[in-house]
A and B are shown apart, each in its own frame.
Chain A
Amino acid sequence: ETGVTQTPRHLVMGMTNKKSLKCEQHLGHNAMYWYKQSAKKPLELMFVYSLEERVENNSVPSRFSPECPNSSHLFLHLHTLQPEDSALYLCASSDRGDEQFFGPGTRLTVL
């Protein structure tokens, strides 16, 4: 596999469920990102990991919890989400502040 992969591609979950999104990059990059894209809104940066250290983003609700076990993998753990959290969640990676490479995204629907 090459580039940035994300699983699952589609996810439907209830408000009381716990689920996780997975991202893997095969590019040897040292920074990884989670973005949220809601309908008709710009991509919003949620979390950044640089050299496996997390940069805090205080505007993200605690029901979203990121995890970066190593430089190639990034997870987004989801717990007690709200319907307004339904969106496309995109993972990206970069090297040395250069352009970011995006995965195909996970389309999340919260019922």
Chain B
Amino acid sequence: DQQVKQNSPSLSVQEGRISILNCDYTNSMFDYFLWYKKYPAEGPTFLISISSIKDKNEDGRFTVFLNKSAKHLSLHIVPSQPGDSAVYFCAASEYPFSGSARQLTFGSGTQLTVLP
């Protein structure tokens, strides 16, 4: 059973508007959450992360919100740009094991298309 779920496989947004990508998780032991972006023929690129002790983290046009009681996080992109068109993956992990490594559990991704 998937512990991290992205229920929307795709999302289309007009340029300049807000994009909201959602992610739900089931494991209450997750304490660190990340968003990655992936273009075709490239590996995922880290975007933004949030620790479970926070409920919001902002980096430029990207903001991640965490609602621990609902086990839900979202990524807001404002304003959306055509170059943001990519697959966005949500990931979560528990406390690092083996000293330095984290086991990330990924969602299945949401294809964002920003229309000019």
List A residues at the B interface (Cβ < 8 Å): 4, 6, 30-31, 33, 40-45, 48-51, 53, 55, 90, 92, 94-97, 99-105
Contact = CB atoms under 8 A, between A and B. Distances in A.
A95 B106 CA distance: 19
15 contacts: A31-B98, A33-B101, A42-B89, A43-B104, A45-B104, A48-B101, A55-B98, A94-B101, A97-B96, A97-B101, A99-B34, A102-B43, A104-B41, A104-B42, A104-B43
A31 B43 contact: no
Contact of B100 (A45, A96, A102, A104): A96
Interface in B96-115: 96-109
Interface in B36-53: 36, 41-46, 49
B99 A51 contact: yes
A99 B100 CA distance: 11
Interface of B: 2, 4, 32, 34, 36, 41-46, 49, 89, 96-109
| Secondary structure dominating the interface of B | loop
Contacts of B97: 50, 55
A74 to B, nearest CB: 12
Contacts of A53: 98
A42 B101 contact: no
B43 to A, nearest CB: 3
Given A50-B98, A53-B98, A94-B100, A43 B106 contact: yes
Contacts of B36: 102
Contacts of B4: 42
Contacts of A103: 43
Contacts of B107: 42
Nearest to A6: B43
